[in-house]
Amino acid sequence: MKIEETRSMSDDELKDSLLKLKKEAFNLRFQQAIGQLENTSRMRAVRRDIARVKTVLIDQRRSA
């Protein structure tokens, strides 16, 4: 997810996206724990996407 895409989302879309990303991060951690995770780089990407969404949410609240 690019930062431009994230900034163009509404507040509700950002919250939905954050929820989906957190669920995905949980599932990836679970897969890693049981040894089924094949694409380990996805964990890093999901963590960074979560950080992006949280940053944009905070910026939008400050400017509103």
CATH of the domain at 50: 1.10.287.310
Residue 1 has what pLDDT?
79
Q: What's the pLDDT tens digit per position in 6-56?
A: 999 999 999 999 999 999 999 999 999 999 999 999 999 999 999 999 999
DSSP 35: T
The domain tally of the chain equals 1
- Cα–Cα distance measured from residue 33 to residue 59, given in angstroms and rounded to the nearest whole number: 35
pLDDT of 56 reads 96
| Rg of the chain on CA atoms, in Å | 13
Report pTM.
Answer: 0.92
Predicted local confidence at residue 6, as pLDDT = 94
- For residue 64, pLDDT beyond 80: no
Domain that holds residue 23: 3-63
